């Protein structure tokens, strides 16, 4: 397998750290009591999101879930608006009416963030169908977890996508938990990716903690979908290192398993790859410092931003109420 | 001018919208030429004109159908999704209610969802408990969508064009028993605005508020009662939600009496909402309670005589009107 180009590697690193620093900052604000909102941590899954977004073009479509911070920030959503939305402010992407579970920013291709497990897959098909109808060359990537593989919409969407050869990438981030239920307690088959064969679809199972595995896999999937050959199901193995949402009980996650998975933590592994590829500690630290500064400014902007007007509850219901 | 059936009216409306806008396309089970142009032939002849990408025959996958319509709408297209029979919306309510209806609001207005969900239903053809229900109240209870049903062929043509034009989801209910109804063809480009009721017959003694197939019953009863000196005003809502409150209230303020009528079951039906609204807003003009007629509160039965007994009876409409006007 060809080595990832240096520029691309740097791009993936930057996106990964954006996701990670955003996640760290969010948890810090929650711990300090500065914000009190629902937040679904992405610790442990940063690289999967970053590699997937780095494999897309700017105008490709993305559909994600409530645990979508990784896709959103790695795709390049303007972070002032992102933080504004997460804090329920008028300056948010959705004027504070969507919130952490419904971030939408069509300008960066973040078309839907759904709060319903598995509901993004059928919608991704529709975005891809529009691209197929009008020949705009876009692909659509939909991200979801292993839990979503067991809802009916997954099956319906996979079959339809393959039938029409839609340009969709189904990215299953197998983080080993569907809400509070461990993978082995909700699914008896060893993997999700093997289901692709049942639809006649291309399936890929890949280590989501190793940039040299996950990025080429995502690139391959995107090339396949964009070339008109049809959809791809990518199962990226990763690990959700926190509970289902911030503050929720995660005593059900065996500590020895967590320790084992921490040895697979994608962040130190990525850092090692970067150093191996002759990036310096200083360069990498500078990237993180710049991201932190940008996040701090965005958070402050969001904290200082006005709340939405109360009459927003009547607006955007129908076009007539816009 | 030529007469057209409701089936032809719907087909013509879809055809001309597809001819005018490349972004309009149909998807649903059996809708393409290979499958015969839909079980009720509404999309007949359109595959030949517009190709299989724009008349997409789908697997039996209601969630995938509506999900695809939602996604395509977000990308700027105007899908017309067919859910063959209205009871099957139970399979895809998440896509309709949590997504199609809410995406405009939840995105702060960034992602409107202009889809038409065409669906067929109706009591009286022996389809039994899972192929006959009128479920409009389910959707009328959700903010962010229009619910429409035509009672005649001309309105079908005009309402379908307006539904396709609309920048929000529209649930478009077609009654199986109405497909063969004929009207004078209102011609190309004809539109009936959403949210606008029709006064199907003027009257002075009572307002009979209804929509869809039961408009026919209402007009028949109104004609008979006219001979007995009772003047019934029949309001055809055409758009069930959000409904034309101004026309309804003006009528009730004039007549002082109201009766709601729908094929859907009575408890928690749209008639209850309309009745409550009338009592709040026309209280000082009302000469008596607002009454409601709806289908029997059970599953639609199969045997013909049971099914006929289940449907709102014309005799009951007559009786309720006579009680209301004090001529019982």
Q: What is the pLDDT of residue A257?
A: 85
Residue from A66, A118, A130 to probe the interface with B (highest B Cβ count within 10 Å): A130
Chain A residues with beta carbon closer than 8 angstroms to that of B54: 133
Burial of B266 (0-12, 13-18, 19+ CB in 10 A): middle
- Using CB atoms, which residue from A104, A163, A318 is nearest to B111? A104
CA distance A176 to A163: 29
Kindly determine whether residue A121 and residue B67, on different chains, have CB atoms separated by under 8 Å. yes
Can you give the pLDDT at residue B328? 86
Q: What is the pLDDT along chain B (328 residues), one digit of tens a residue?
A: 699 999 999 999 999 999 999 999 999 999 999 999 999 999 999 999 999 999 999 999 999 999 999 999 999 999 999 999 999 999 999 999 999 999 999 999 999 999 999 999 999 999 999 999 999 999 999 999 999 999 999 999 999 999 999 999 999 999 999 999 999 999 999 999 999 999 999 999 999 999 999 999 999 999 999 999 999 999 999 999 999 999 999 999 999 999 999 999 999 999 999 999 999 999 999 999 999 999 999 999 999 999 999 999 999 999 999 999 999 8
* pLDDT interval class at A247 (50, 70, 90): confident
Q: How confident is residue A87, by pLDDT bands cut at 50, 70 and 90?
A: very high
Residue pLDDT, tens place only, B10-38: 999 999 999 999 999 999 999 999 999 99
Residue of chain A nearest B54, judged by CA positions: A133
Distance (Å) from the alpha carbon of B61 to chain A's nearest alpha carbon: 6
> For B13, which DSSP code?
H
Nearest-angstrom CA–CA distance, A183 and B184: 62
Q: Using only the alpha carbons of chain A, give its radius of gyration.
A: 19
* pLDDT reading at A1 higher than 70: no
Q: Give alpha helix (H) positions in chain B.
A: 6-20, 46-50, 62-74, 93, 103-106, 136-140, 153-165, 214-227, 245-255, 270-281, 304-310, 314-325
Quick one: pLDDT band at residue A251, thresholds 50, 70, 90? confident
Rounded to a whole number of angstroms, the distance between the first and last alpha carbons of chain A is: 52
Residue A129's nearest CA partner among B272, B70, B43 is B70
Residue A322: pLDDT over 80:
no
The answer for B266, left when phi > 0, alpha when psi is -120 to 50, beta otherwise, is alpha
Strand B206-210 and strand A110-114: pairing? unpaired
Interface test mutation site (partner A, options B108, B142, B145, B242, max chain A beta carbons within 10 A): B108
B108 has a chain A CB within 8 A of its CB: yes
Tens digits of per-residue pLDDT, A32-63? 999 999 999 999 999 999 999 999 999 999 99
Contact A127 B74 (CB under 8 A): yes
Residue in chain B closest to A158 (alpha carbons) equals B64
Lowest mean pLDDT among A113-127, A238-252, B83-97, B119-133: A238-252
> Which of B97, B68, B100, B94 has its CA nearest to residue B81?
B68
User: What pLDDT is recorded for position A248?
Assistant: 85
């Amino acid at each position: 397998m060809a080595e990832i180009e240096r520029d691309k590697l740097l791009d993936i690193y930057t996106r990964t750290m954006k996701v990670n620093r955003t996640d760290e900052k969010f948890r810090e604000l929650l711990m300090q009591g500065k914000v009190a909102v629902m937040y679904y941590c992405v610790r442990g899954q940063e690289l999967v999101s970053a590699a997937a977004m780095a494999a897309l073009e700017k105008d490709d479509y993305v559909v994600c879930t409530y645990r979508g911070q990784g896709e959103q920030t790695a795709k390049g959503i303007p972070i002032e608006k992102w933080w504004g939305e997460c804090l329920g402010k008028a300056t948010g992407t959705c004027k504070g009416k969507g919130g952490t579970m419904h971030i939408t920013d069509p300008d960066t291709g973040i078309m839907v963030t759904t709060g319903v497990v598995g509901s993004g897959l059928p919608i991704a098909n529709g975005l891809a169908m529009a691209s197929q109808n009008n020949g705009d060359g876009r692909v659509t990537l939909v991200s979801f977890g292993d839990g979503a593989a067991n809802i009916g919409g997954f099956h319906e969407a996979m079959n339809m996508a393959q039938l029409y050869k839609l340009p969709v990438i189904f990215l299953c981030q197998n983080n080993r938990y569907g809400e509070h239920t461990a993978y082995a307690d909700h699914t008896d088959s060893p993997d999700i990716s093997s289901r692709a064969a049942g639809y006649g679809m291309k399936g890929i199972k890949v280590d989501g903690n190793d940039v040299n595995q996950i990025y080429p896999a995502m690139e391959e999937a995107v090339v396949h979908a964009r070339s008109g050959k049809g959809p791809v199901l990518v199962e990226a193995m990763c690990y959700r290192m926190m509970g289902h949402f911030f503050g929720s009980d995660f005593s059900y996650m065996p500590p020895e398993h967590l320790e084992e998975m921490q040895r697979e933590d994608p962040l130190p592994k990525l850092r090692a790859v970067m150093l191996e590829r002759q990036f310096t500690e200083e360069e990498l630290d500078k990237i993180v410092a710049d991201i932190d500064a940008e996040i701090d400014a965005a958070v402050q902007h969001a904290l200082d931003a006005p709340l939405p007007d109360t009459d927003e509850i009547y607006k955007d219901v129908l076009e007539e109420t816009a | 001018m030529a007469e057209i059936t409701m089936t032809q009216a719907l087909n013509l409306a879809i055809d001309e919208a597809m001819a005018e806008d490349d972004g309009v396309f149909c998807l649903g089970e059996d809708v393409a030429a290979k499958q015969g142009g839909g079980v009720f032939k509404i999309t007949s002849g359109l595959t030949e004109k517009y190709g299989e990408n724009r008349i997409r025959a789908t697997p039996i996958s209601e969630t995938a159908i509506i999900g695809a319509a939602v996604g395509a709408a977000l990308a700027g297209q105007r899908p017309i999704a067919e859910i063959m029979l209205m009871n099957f919306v139970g399979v895809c309510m998440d896509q309709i209610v949590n997504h199609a209806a809410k995406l405009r609001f939840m995105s702060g207005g960034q992602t409107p969802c202009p889809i038409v969900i065409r669906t067929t239903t109706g009591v009286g053809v022996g389809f039994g408990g899972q192929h006959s229900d009128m479920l409009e109240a389910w959707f009328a209870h959700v903010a962010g969508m229009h619910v429409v049903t035509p009672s005649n062929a001309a309105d079908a043509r005009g309402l379908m064009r307006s539904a396709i034009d609309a920048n929000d989801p529209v649930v478009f209910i077609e009654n199986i028993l109405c497909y063969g109804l004929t009207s004078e063809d209102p011609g190309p480009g004809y539109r009936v605005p959403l949210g606008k009721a029709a006064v199907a017959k003027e009257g002075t003694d009572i307002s009979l508020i209804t929509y869809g197939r039961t408009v026919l019953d209402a007009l028949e009863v109104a004609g008979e009662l006219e001979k007995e000196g009772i003047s019934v005003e029949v309001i055809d809502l055409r758009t069930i939600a959000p409904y034309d409150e101004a026309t309804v209230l003006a009528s009730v303020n004039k007549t002082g009496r109201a009766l709601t009528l729908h094929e859907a079951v009575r408890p928690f039906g749209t008639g209850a909402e309309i009745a409550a609204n009338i009592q709040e807003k026309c209280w000082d003009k009302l000469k008596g309670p607002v009454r409601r007629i709806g289908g029997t509160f059970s599953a639609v039965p199969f045997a013909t005589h049971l099914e006929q007994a289940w449907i709102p009876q014309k005799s009951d409409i007559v009786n309720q009107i006579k009680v209301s006007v004090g001529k019982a």
